[in-house]
Amino acid sequence: MIPVAACGEGLLKAYPEQSSSGTAMSSTTYVAPAPAARAPLGTPGLVALAVLVIGTLVLGSIYGARHGALFLVGGALGISLYHAAFGFTSAWRVFILEGRGRGLRVQMLLLALGVLLFFPVLASGTLFGEAVKGSAAPVGTSVIVGAFMFGLGMQLGGGCASGTLFTAGGGNARMLVTLLFFVIGSVLATIHFDWWTSLPSLQPISLVQSFGPWGGIALSLAIFAAIAGITVLVEKRRNGALEQAPASPRQGLSRFLRGPWPLVWGAVALVIFNFATLALAGRPWGVTSAFALWGAKGAQAIGIDPTAWSYWQTPSNAKALQESVFADITSIMDFGIIAGAMLAAALAGSFAPSLKIPLRSVVAAVVGGLLLGYGARIAYGCNIGAYFSGIISGSVHGYLWAVAAFAGNILGAHMRPFFFAERQIRRIDG
């Protein structure tokens, strides 16, 4: 089965009727708050807005208009992720533990829209006259092991790759711990990367190349429909009826600006902005390669030479290590996601970081972050680069990643009670 995020503490303050996947939390009844008067942006919101505007202009002037535009696309992704509370961790856990599949069905919609938009373009090889390519990777042992580690890390760390970024940007202090160890785990994986890639594997397999764009679309839609159908059967059997979307305390323009968005809005926005990334960068959206780069830069700062590791000896990685992180497309999009989520949290009136984090929760963030970082590198991506972008690129490794990561989530979901009390679980990620 293929399962989407972790909503941070700040999100539950803003949108108490929703979990991180947009799925209403079944164990407790929440009453949606009455619409409040529009709150000012405040200092966090103004800072985030300034960063997005000035960053776009400065990056555009130094590295070119496309570079600046990609930073702005990152900001739009951050806003969309936060306002739709759209991620991967909570939806997977809710289905595993409670059999509720609304979040998974929206994920299937996300992937369906993606293949409809991406497959014809990837088959042609060009978009607006520029060369483009999908996110494809080998199908092998490292993907299975890495994705399983990542899935386990999702539940312990409290988020996936995109979820960690947008909840940290939205003011969740615990997710900063997860992000730090996500980075550390990523760079540790680059030390052993050549060993993992030497394990048995097949060359990248593309549904677009194997079946053509329309055959690939038909096969993909059939898979997504089957998964959605399974979630319906499971949910009706375990809960009697399908869960309905919670009512929103805001409507119209206020809801668009301040949230919460319906999950479907989030899915549509993520597909559109991923397509914008393809048009501007020549490849789909990714997240975690930047974390390895940040970790390698940090290693250099404390006197460790990562150039001795084979991962950093490939031309593209060696070039990235020599240049500023602001020259790296994935990095500037990640920075944009953080700034965009911070702006969205301010608009929602929920940016209120707290450093009161229970010790067990910190331990889970450390362990989860390490698993997330290490797993993403050896699996050729995360929930974005391998699952979302991989599948809508037609790469079979994306499907293998999803199955292995779901298995890791099953283990992680059953380990969470050791690290979190029930109330803490809801406050961290739904």
Sign of the Cα pseudo-torsion (33, 35, 37, 39, in order): positive
Q: Tell me the two tokens of residue 266.
A: 């989030």
Residue 42 confidence (pLDDT): 87
Higher pLDDT, 166 or 6: 166
Residue 40 confidence (pLDDT): 63
Q: Tell me the two tokens of residue 5.
A: 């995020």
For residues 24 and 243, the answer to whether their CB atoms sit within 8 Å is yes
Q: Is the pLDDT of residue 63 over 90?
A: yes
Residue 221 confidence (pLDDT): 98
Q: Is the pLDDT of residue 426 over 60?
A: no
- How far, in Å, CA of 332 to CA of 209, rounded? 31
* Residue 41's pLDDT band (cuts 50, 70, 90): confident
Q: Tell me the two tokens of residue 47.
A: 């800072």
Q: Is the pLDDT of residue 9 over 70?
A: no
Region of 25 on the Ramachandran plot (φ > 0 left; ψ -120 to 50 alpha; else beta): beta
- How far, in Å, CA of 270 to CA of 261, rounded? 13
For residues 74 and 334, the answer to whether their CB atoms sit within 8 Å is yes
Residue 249 confidence (pLDDT): 86
- Residue given tokens 């002037």 in the structure block: 61
* Residue 16's pLDDT band (cuts 50, 70, 90): very low
How many other CB atoms are there within 10 angstroms of residue 234's CB atom? 17
**CB-based burial of residue 115 (10 Å sphere; 0-12 exposed, 13-18 middle, 19+ buried)?**
buried
Residue 296 confidence (pLDDT): 97
- How far, in Å, CA of 169 to CA of 365, rounded? 16
- Inter-CA distances, 180 with 48, 145, 186, 347, Å: 21, 22, 10, 26
- Let me know how long the chain is: 430
Higher pLDDT, 42 or 147: 147
Residue 355 confidence (pLDDT): 85
Q: What is the mean pLDDT of the chain?
A: 89
- How far, in Å, CA of 216 to CA of 232, rounded? 24
Q: Is the pTM of this model over 0.75?
A: yes
3-state helix, strand, coil in the chain (%, to 5): 70, 0, 25
Q: What's the whole-number mean pLDDT along residues 220-234?
A: 98
Q: Give residues with Cβ within 8 angstroms of 96, minimum separation 6.
A: 409, 410, 413
